[in-house]
Each structure stands twice: as C-alpha cells, then as structure tokens.
Amino acid sequence: MFNSFKIGTAFGIPIRIHWTFVVMILVLMMRVPGSNTDFLLAVGVLLTCVLLHELGHSLVARRFGIRVIDITFWPLGGMARMSQIPESSKVEGLVAIAGPAVNFVLAAVGVVALILFGPQAGGTFDRYAQTFVFWNLGLGIFNLVPAFPMDGGRILRAFFARNHDWLRATEMAVSVGRLCAGMMFAASLAWMMSGGEGICLLPLIPLFIWVAGGRELLVVRLRHAQMHFGQPFGSHPGQPESQTGRQPNGSQPEFGQPPEVSHGQGSGFSDADIRTLEQFRGRMRPPD
C-alpha cells in the first residue's frame, strides 16, 4: 500500500505499517505517563492481538480462494486487503467472524493461564494476563458492533443476504451501520465534552464507518449496474472464470476497486449495451 512500509511476512502475507500509525505512536509516547518501555511493550502485545485477528480473517478467506494482498496497521487498527470476496453469505459470514473468534480464543487462553499460573506467579503476571484478556475481549466485542464495514456489519449483511439480493442486503447493512456510526459519534463527542480523556481519534471511527460503508455500497451498485451488460462481476462462487470478472491472467480486481465497464464483444459499447444504458440515462446517440 502506498505510504506504508513492510515490517515482515506471516503465512506469505506481507505485514505493513502506515506512516500515520508511526506518527500516532510517537505522539502517544510523548503524552502517556510512565516509561516508554512499558508503553512500547503494551503496543507490541496489542499489535500482536490485532495481527492475529487479521490473520484469522485472511486464512479463512484463503480457504475460499480469496487472495490476501497484505495486512496494514493504521491508527484505527489493522486492515487485511483482499481480492473480491464472492457475493455469498456463507463466505462473507465465515471470513468476518474469524477475526473476533481469534480474539475470544486468545481471551480464553489468558483466563486459563491466569487460573493455572496466577497463584504462583504473583502480581505482575496477573496484571499483564488480565490486561491481555481485557484487550482481546474488547477487540472481539467491538468488532462485532453491527456497523458495516466492520466485522459485525459484514455478518449482518451476510444475514440479510439470506433473504435479499446482495445489493439490497448491502443497503440495509449500510443503513444500520450509519445508525450505529451516528450513535458512536454522539457518544464520543459527549465523552470528550464531559471531560473524558481527550482521545481525539474516537470520533474518527464513526466517520470512517460512514465513509467506508458508503464507498463499499457504491462499489456494489456499480458491480450490479454492470450486470445489465451481461457480465456478472465477481458474483457467485463456482461460476466459470470467464463470468466472474477475473482478469485473464487469473488475478482478481482488488477489494474496493470499481470494476471496469464491459465494452461488449469488440471495442466500444454494442448497440444492446447502449439501449440498456439509455433506459437508465436517456438518449446517448444522436438521432439517425
């Protein structure tokens, strides 16, 4: 990803850090009381939990033949970029739930460690293990908020898609997501105005949900509009390659990128394409 740099590879997936994340850590290091070593240790553990969450999504996605381009850390968390996810409620639901599931498993491991080793190990171990459990529970629960395109919102779209077409399911999930975003925005402003710790990133999360949800809805609308031209794009698993919008070299259009418009058999739109377009947009040719 542009403006990010690679820090390693996990399961063949490049792990990257966006420059804004580095700036955020440096600013927090200057503001947070206590030693920088403790702070960096805490950041390292939190990053590992987020990375495992993203690897959960990525490895399940791979099982369904989805290509994982990279995982990038940025100020609002981690993000696994993937090629087109098929319009299948089963695939989307399983990929989305895998991330929070990893955090709940990690939290359970922390609880078991506390029970087994807590009594002998003493205060410091207890404190770190409790923080580990708390963070993982927090990550798992927060990501399940039904605010599309967060994991909970994707699970909700998968649920809606059982009884509606993909576009309608996306519209419904984005509407619920924006309702959640509105409530989160109001709550974060109230928190900051009531003298809560000035976490200036807090209102950015609902803004991101609002913008990213709308962007993804636009991509789905474009893809479905394209279906009017006889080339269903990245639609159903199991379809022949030639009908899924994959590129001739086998690579798929990247997640979040609008598809290329069909140009009919040869170069330019066919008469049938133009007739279809005209139904939506009015006359597009000069009169004969």
Q: What is the nearest approach in angstroms of Zn ion to the Cβ of residue 195?
A: 32
Q: Do 110 and 131 contact (CB within 8 A), yes or no?
A: no
- 3-class DSSP state of 97: helix
CB-nearer residue toward Zn ion: 151 or 273: 151
Give the shortest CB-91-to-Zn ion separation in angstroms.
Answer: 15
Sheet holding 77-82, edge to edge: 4-10, 13-18, 68-74, 77-82
The helix or strand, by DSSP H or E, that contains position 144, with its residue range, turns out to be: none
Query: What is the nearest approach in angstroms of Zn ion to the Cβ of residue 99?
Result: 3
Q: What angle do CA 158, 161, 164 make, to 5 degrees?
A: 165
Identify the sign of the CA torsion 56, 172, 235, 163.
Answer: positive
Work out how close the CB of 139 gets to Zn ion at its nearest, in angstroms, rounded to a whole number: 8
Least Å from the CB of residue 151 to Zn ion = 4
Nearer to Zn ion, 69 or 225 (CB): 69
| Residues at the contact surface with Zn ion, assessed by CB under 5 A | 99, 143, 151
Q: Which residues are catalytically annotated?
A: 54
**Minimum CB distance to Zn ion smaller for 151 or for 216:** 151
Closer by beta carbon to Zn ion, 87 or else 151: 151
Tell me the pairing of strands 13-18 and 4-10: antiparallel
Q: Which of 69, 74, 70 is nearest to 19 (CA)?
A: 74
Tokens of 132: 């580990």
Neighbours of 195 (CB within 10 A): 7
Cα 190 to Cα 199: distance, rounded to the nearest angstrom: 12
Burial class for 159, CB neighbours closer than 10 Å (0-12, 13-18, 19+)? middle
